Amino acid sequence: MNPVTKILRLWQAHYWYLAFGALLALAALAAGIVLMQNAGRYTATSVLGGVLLVPLALQMAGVARVVLRYLERLVTHDAMFRALGGVRVWFFTGLAHSAAGGLGMRRAGDALARLVNDVEALDGLYLRIIVPGLSVLMLLPILLVVLHHESVWALLVLPLFVVVAVVLPWRAARLAGDNARRASLAMAGLRNAALDALSGLREVKIFAAEGRMLAMVQARESAVLAAQRELASRISRLNVIGFLLAQSGILLALLIGFISGPMAAVVAVFVLTAAFEAVGAMP
């Protein structure tokens, strides 16, 4: 069974809560897009010397954005804590049924690494992949309608958004896959070495093996740091590319103002800023 599918099955008891959190996130994102669109119109109108009356839609969108954003944070994180609690119960149950109360015939360091790293990392599956992924699916038609309404030329920015929101995260997952596995194995090895040295400290002192044990721990630590540096370097390069593409999209929207007028350019810049910010949470 696919590991992701297995995790989703473990979350089955919390599906409705997780779905409600995702809906709140989408509603907050929609309110943010409406807010930025109206703010862009208001800003462009004020620059062009129009009547400075704050529209009701701008006020309502601002209030809705704040309230929905707060509820989204509250519900999604609470749902994630509940889901992680279920995963921990499943993990401890399997561990206890395996051998000698769960730890007697296992590497304690490896079990500790699973408890601390692997379970905690699962929050990213929901908060950084599922919810932002749904946001991208909702943003694409919204951007298509809004940008087309402002200017047909503004649709030229959509390919850049697709690259930042879809292509770069997919590429990051491909690049980081092997390296993340190496980093996880290296971290488990470091924990094993450290716990072995501490649990057998009496024997280590008797045989004067402190230097060898320290060298082994330092070697494992160097492997962990090397894997983490390589992973961070790859992700950083993709983040730089994403940032440059996002800024290029905003610059392109500004240049559209020479064709379609300042109103369309300002609204497009505001909307695209909100859109690129929304997908910035994706790995």
Predicted local distance difference test score (pLDDT) of residue 156: 83
DSSP 178-198: HHHHHHHHHHHHHHHHHHHHH
CA–CA distance, 223 with 88 (Å, rounded to integer): 28
Predicted local distance difference test score (pLDDT) of residue 105: 47
Sequence-ordered list of residues with C-beta below 8 angstroms from that of 247, at least 6 positions apart, any chain: none
DSSP 230-279: HHHHHHHHHHHHHHHHHHHHHHHHHHHHHHH-HHHHHHHHHHHHHHHHHH
Give the Å distances, CA to CA, from 245 to 40, 231, 255. Answer: 21, 21, 15
| Domain with 89 in it | 3-279
The ranges of the chain with pLDDT < 70 are: 1, 48-55, 95, 98-120, 178, 281-283
Residue 8 in tokens: 């989703």
Handedness of CA 201, 205, 206, 211 (dihedral sign): positive
CATH code at 77?
A: 1.20.1560.10
Predicted local distance difference test score (pLDDT) of residue 68: 92
**Overall number of domains in the chain:** 1
